[in-house]
Structure 1
Amino acid sequence: MSKSTSQSSGEWLQSWDPENEATWDKPLAWRTLWVTTFALFLAFAAWFLPSALIPKLNPLGYSFTTSELYWMAAMPGLSAGLFRLVWMVLPPIMGTRKMVALTSLLLVFSTLGWGVRVQEPTAPYWELMVLAFLAGVGGGAFSGFMPSTSYFFPRSKQGTALGLQAGIGNFGVSAVQLLTPYLIGFSWLAFFGSSQTISMPGKEAQEVWYQNAAFIWIPLMVIAAILAWTMLKSVPIKANIRQQFDIFGNVDTWLMTLLYIMTFGTFAGLAAQFGLLMADLYGISNPDIVSGTGGEATVLVDGYAVPDVVKYVFLGPLVGAGARVLFAPLTDRTGGAVWTLVSGIGLIVSIAFTIPALTPDTTSAATLESGFNQFLWGMLAIFLFSGIGNASTFKQMPMIFEKRQAGGVIGWTAAIAAFGPFFFGIGVTTLGPVGFYAIGIAWAVMCVVITWVRYARKGAPKPS
C-alpha cells in the first residue's frame, strides 16, 4: 500500500500504521508534531500566566494575604489535573485536529480575563480564583495533545518525538515568566487599557502595563487554532471511554503514575510556586527582611539586596524544559528506565541540599546572600533532574504498554501529576517548606526502588 492510499481526503486517516516504514507518512507525522507543539507551548503559557502575575498583585495595589496568594497560585494546578482527566479521553473521540484547534481557542478566555483584571486592583478574590481555575485548561491540554501525537510515530521514535513536544511545550512556562517583566515596560504594546503603578521595596514607583503579559499571547492562540484546523489530520483509534479505562487493571499504570508524580509533579509544582516561595523566604514577603508596605518598605538587613523574583523565576522551568528536550534522544538509544533512576537519585540529593536554605538566616546580609544562593542552585538542580525524569518516563510508557493503552496511560499519569502546583501550594502552606520537601525526599526514595526493581535492573519484569 502506498502512502497516498493510507490517507483519506478528509480529516480521518485510513490504514495508518507508523510501524510500517513503507507506508508511514513521515512528513505528516512531523508536521503534526510541530503544529501541536506550538499549540502546547501556548497552552503552558496560558497555564502559568497566573504564576507570573500573582507575586505582583499586592505591589500593584491588591491586599491579599500570603495564604490567599498560595491558594490562587495552586488553583491552576487543581483545575489542570481535573481537565486532564477529560482531555485524556478526547483523542480517540474528537481526533487530533478538532481537539487541538478548539483547545487553542479555549485558552483565550482566561488569558483575556487576566489581561483585563490586572489593570485595576478592584477584582474580588473569587473572580481571580475563577480566572486561575480557567487557566488550568492550558494544563489539561497536555493529556490530549501528547497521546494523540504518539499515534503518529513508531515506538523507536516516540521518545524523541514526545520529548521534543513536551520539552518545547514546557518552555511556555519559562517564556511567560521570562518575558513578563519586559513586556510590561512597553507602553506601545498596551493596545487596550491604561497603565498601572507598581511599588517595590527601596525603589521608586514605576509605571507598568501588566496587561501586555496576557494580551501578547492571544493572537498566537488564534493562529494556533487556524494552523491546527487547516494542517492536521486525525488517526482513527478505536476506543470509547469505557474501553480506555482498562488501563487501570494494569499495575504498571499505577507505578508509572507514581514515577511521573515525582518528575512532572515536581516540575509543575515548583514552576507554579517558585516565585512566591522565593519572595516569602528571601524577598519582599519576608517580614524579617522587609517592613512596611509599598514604596515605604525598607530593607532591615543592611546591605542585603532583595531579589526581584521575576528576574529568577523563569530559570527553573527553563532548565527543566531544556533537560527534557536534550535527554529525550538519549532515552531512545539507552531506554528510559536508567534515566528515571538517575532522575530519582538526583532529586534526593538536590532536595536534601536545598532544605537548609528553606530557613533563611537573617542575622546578616552575608548569611542571607549565602542562603539565597544555596536556595537558587538547589532549586535549579531539582528542576534539572525532574526534567530528565520527564523525558525518560515518556520513553518508558510506550515501551511498557501497547499503543492504545500507552496513549491512555500517558494521559492519565499526566493528569495526576498536573495536580503538582495544587499539592505544592497546599503542602507548603500547611506543612511548611521544610516538612514538605522532606516528604519529597521520601517520595523520590520510593520511586528509585520501584524503578530499580520493576524496570531498570538486569532481568527486570518490564525493562524499558
Structure 2
Amino acid sequence: MTRTTAPREGGRWIQRWDPEDETFWRESGERIARRNLLYSVFSEHIGFSIWSLWSVMVLFMGPGYGIDPAGKFFLIATATCVGALVRIPYTFAVARFGGRNWTVVSALLLLVPTVAALVVMEPGTPYGTFLAVAALTGVGGGNFASSMTNINAFFPLRKKGWALGLNAGGGNIGVPVVQLAALLVIATAGAGHPRLLLAAYLPLIVAAAVLALVRMDNLAPVRADAGAVREAARQPHTWIMAFLYVGTFGSFIGYGFAFGLVLQTQFGRTPLQAASMTFLGPLLGSLSRPVGGALADRFGGARITLAAFVAMAAATGVVVLASVRESLPVFLAGFVALFALSGAGNGSTYKMIPGIFHAKALARGLEGEEAAAYGRRISGAAMGLTGAVGALGGLGINLVFRRAFQDSGSGTAAFVTFLAFYAACCAVTWAVYLRRPRQQTPAAPGAPGAPGTTAKAQLTSV
C-alpha cells in the first residue's frame, strides 16, 4: 500500500499511517481514526437516506399517480441497481482522490437526486421521469463503498470488525431515519406533501459535506492500485464473500426498500399505517450491525455469519407461515427478526474480508507489517467488489417480490425463494470457512496462493 511516489501535500493529507504499530496507535492514530469514523458515519448515513428515498416516496404515490404495485417495486429496484453499480467506482475514488476529498464530493452529489425529486414529485409526472430520478438516488448507495474502504485503512486488523460494523451500522440507520421522517410528514401534513421530506434533507446534505471538509483527513499511503483490483478479482474468496454478502446486506437493503410496499400490497395497510411499521426492522438491522462486527472480533466472523444465516432461515420460515395464514402480527415479528439478523450478518461478513486476506498473506510467508499491508491492499479492493455484488442482492429481492405479486398478489413465493438461498449460504459458509481440513499439509513458504492446510486453518479463524 505504501509506495515511493511523490508525497501528497496540503488538503489534510497524512503522510505516515501505521495502525498496526501499537505505539503509533496509542499516541495519535486512534484519536485520528475515531474522528474520521465519526464524520464518515454521518456522511454515509445521509447517503443511505437518499438512496432509500423511493422506499418512502412510493408511500406518497396514491391513486392519482396511476402506478400499480409492480411499477412501484420497479422504481425501488432501479434505485437499488444503480446504487450497487456505482459502488465499484466509488471504492476506487478513495485511493484516487483521498478519503476526505471524496467524502466531500460524494456528499454534494446527493443534492442532485434530492433536488430532482423535489421538482418531479407530483401526480401527472411521466413514469419514465420517476424512473430516471429514482436511478439518480443510486449515488447514495455508492457512499457506503467509499466510506468502508476509507475506514478500513484507518483501523488495525484487531479493531476492524468493530470499526467497520459501526461505520456501516451508522450508515444503514439512514434507512429507518428517512422512514421515520416520512411517517412524521404523513402523520402531520398528509400523504400529499412529499416535498416537505425532501426539503428537510437539503441542509443535512450540505452539513455532511462541510463537516467532512473541515474535520476529516486523507491518507497518503492509500493510493490507486489497479493491480490490487485485478488480484482481488482473481481471488475466489472475493466472490465467495460477495455471495455471502448478497445474503446479508442484500437482504437488509432489499427488505428495507420493499417492507412498506409489501405491507400496503399484501396486508392492505394505509400509507400512514405502513410508514408507522416500516422503520423498526431497518432500525434494528442497523443497530445490530456493529454488534455482529464486535462478536466476530471475539468469536470469529465465520462462526457468527453461519449463526446469522441459520437464524435468518428460521425467521423466513416464520414469515412464510404468517404469509400463508395472513397473520400480520406474526409476519411483522418474523420480518423484523430478519432485519436484525441480516444486520448482525453484515457486520460479521465484513469482518471476515480483511481477516481472509491477512491469512492469505501469512500463507505466502509474509510477516508483520508486510503481511498487514498486503491484507489492507487486497481487502480494500475486495470490499468494493463485494459491496457492489452484495447490493445487487437487494435488486434481486425487489424483482422477486415484483414477480410474486404480479403472479399471485402475495409475497409467499418470494419468501420461499429467499429461504432456499439462505440454506445455500449456510452450506457455503460452513464448507469454506468452518469445515476443518482432514490433513495438515503446510503451505510452502512464500508460495503464492499455496493451497496447504496452513492457509485453510488460518481461514477457519476469520
What is the TM-score normalised by the length of structure 1? Answer: 0.84
From the superposition, tell whether residues 242 and 123 of structure 1 become closer, same or farther in structure 2 (CA, over 3 Å).
Answer: farther
User: Among residues 182, 197, 200, which one is paired with 1:216 in the alignment?
Assistant: 200
Residue by residue over 1:205-256, the C-alpha shift from the partner in whole angstroms, topping out at 9 and shown as x without a partner, is xxx5321211111111111111112222212223433542211111111111
Find the aligned partners of 2:178 and 2:339 in 1 and give their Cα distance: 17
User: Among residues 259, 283, 307, which one is paired with 2:268 in the alignment?
Assistant: 283
Q: Give the letter for the 2:292 counterpart.
A: F
Offset of 1:455 from its aligned partner? 1.6
User: Among residues 82, 88, 107, which one is paired with 1:104 in the alignment?
Assistant: 107
User: Among residues 440, 445, 450, which one is paired with 2:423 in the alignment?
Assistant: 445
* Structure 2 match to 1:302: none
Q: Superposition pairs for residues 238-257 of structure 1, below 5 Å?
A: 238-257=223-242
Mapped pair 1:39 → 2:43: yes
Mapped pair 1:266 → 2:251: yes
From the superposition, tell whether residues 441 and 75 of structure 1 become closer, same or farther in structure 2 (CA, over 3 Å).
Answer: same
From the superposition, tell whether residues 64 and 10 of structure 1 become closer, same or farther in structure 2 (CA, over 3 Å).
Answer: closer
Offset of 1:341 from its aligned partner? 0.8
Find the aligned partners of 1:431 and 1:64 in 2 and give their Cα distance: 17
Residue by residue over 1:390-434, the C-alpha shift from the partner in whole angstroms, topping out at 9 and shown as x without a partner, is 010111111111111111111111111112332122112224523
Gaps of 5+ in 2: 1-6, 358-374, 406-410, 438-455
* Structure 1 match to 2:17: 16
* Structure 2 match to 1:234: 218
Find the aligned partners of 2:162 and 2:69 in 1 and give their Cα distance: 41
Q: Give the letter for the 1:233 counterpart.
A: D
Offset of 1:183 from its aligned partner? 3.3
User: Among residues 52, 55, 73, which one is paired with 2:56 in the alignment?
Assistant: 52
Offset of 1:48 from its aligned partner? 0.7
Offset of 1:346 from its aligned partner? 0.6
Offset of 1:125 from its aligned partner? 0.8
* Structure 2 match to 1:436: 414
- Counterpart contact for 1:257–1:416, Cα < 8 Å: yes
Give the total of aligned pairs.
410
Which secondary structure does the structure 2 equivalent of 1:349 belong to? helix
Find the aligned partners of 2:348 and 2:287 in 1 and give their Cα distance: 13
User: Among residues 290, 304, 314, which one is paired with 1:325 in the alignment?
Assistant: 290
Gaps of 5+ in 1: 1-5, 188-196, 199-207, 286-305, 362-370
Mapped pair 1:314 → 2:279: yes
Range with bigger deviation, 95-104 or 442-451: 442-451
Find the aligned partners of 1:147 and 1:131 in 2 and give their Cα distance: 27
Q: Give the letter for the 1:376 counterpart.
A: L
- Counterpart contact for 1:282–1:307, Cα < 8 Å: no
* Structure 1 match to 2:67: 64
From the superposition, tell whether residues 358 and 123 of structure 1 become closer, same or farther in structure 2 (CA, over 3 Å).
Answer: same
Offset of 1:283 from its aligned partner? 1.1
Find the aligned partners of 1:124 and 1:438 in 2 and give their Cα distance: 35
- Counterpart contact for 1:260–1:413, Cα < 8 Å: yes
Offset of 1:359 from its aligned partner? 3.8
Offset of 1:69 from its aligned partner? 0.9
Offset of 1:177 from its aligned partner? 0.2
Offset of 1:8 from its aligned partner? 6.0
User: Among residues 145, 152, 155, which one is paired with 1:153 in the alignment?
Assistant: 155
Find the aligned partners of 1:249 and 1:420 in 2 and give their Cα distance: 21
* Structure 2 match to 1:180: 182
Q: Give the letter for the 1:145 counterpart.
A: S
Find the aligned partners of 2:309 and 2:292 in 1 and give their Cα distance: 15
Q: Give the letter for the 1:268 counterpart.
A: I
* Structure 2 match to 1:87: 90
Offset of 1:42 from its aligned partner? 0.2
Mapped pair 1:28 → 2:29: no
Residue by residue over 1:370-402, the C-alpha shift from the partner in whole angstroms, topping out at 9 and shown as x without a partner, is x11111111011111111100101111111111
- Counterpart contact for 1:36–1:228, Cα < 8 Å: yes
